[in-house]
Amino acid sequence: MTETFSYAVWRHATGAPHFDLFISRSGGTIHWIVPYGIPEEESEKRLAVEQAPPEGLPEEKLGEGTCRDYGEGNMELLELGTYTAELSMKSKMVLRIEQGRMRGRYLMIVPAWGRWTEKKLWVIEKIANT
């Protein structure tokens, strides 16, 4: 069974610039810091560090100014949209995005080496362009 949820990507200009990826799903909102950006080409992989989402960030606020108050530095909203969850498990997800810059299918997985760190480490891979 597939379900549709919302996502947002922010560029966060701090001392260590990075991107913030927020996705909603039935269990709430998940937030990752992605140091080198969201993969744009098929087979590209990026490290993503799971973080606690900002306090009081309901699903419908993913793209609103609420996130601007999170952390230091300026935040710029790069993309806001919806995705279809083709697979959604605790440590593995397949997302299909049909619009915007992120258009494509993404595999998000926690590899074995990412489970035993202080913060859960994920790998995001773009697996298809459509």
User: What are the pLDDT digits (tens) for 11-44?
Assistant: 888 888 899 999 988 878 889 999 999 999 999 9
**What does the domain layout of the chain look like in residue ranges?**
3-128
Q: Tell me, what's the pLDDT at 1?
A: 55
* pLDDT at residue number 32: 94
pLDDT tens figures, 47-74:
999 988 776 554 555 665 545 555 677 8
Asked if pLDDT for residue 9 goes beyond 60, the answer is yes
Backbone torsions φ then ψ of 103, nearest 5 degrees: -45, 125
Sequence-separated (6 or more) residues with CB below 8 Å from residue 46: 34, 35, 36, 37, 38, 39, 123, 124, 125
The answer to whether residue 117 scores a pLDDT higher than 70 is yes
